[in-house]
Amino acid sequence: MDNYKLVKKGIFEKLASFEERINSMSAEGWNAISMSSDNNSIILLMERRR
């Protein structure tokens, strides 16, 4: 079974801290599947296989 999670960059969150959050999720086994942007926010679709 696969788990999916949407991760959105906060309005006031710096890009470096967003990258650190994504890297820590990647170390936990999450993989980025898709990326999109909406006005000034970044949205990632993450997947983890069990």
Per run of 10 residues, the mean pLDDT along the chain (length 50 residues) is 92 94 96 91 93
Question: Which H or E run includes 16?
Answer: helix 15-27
**What does residue 42 show for φ and ψ, rounded to 5 degrees?**
-115, 135
pTM recorded for the entire structure: 0.83
Residue labelled with tokens 């926010």: 41
- Residue 20 DSSP symbol: H
What pLDDT is recorded for position 44?
A: 96
**42/17 Cα distance (integer angstroms):** 13
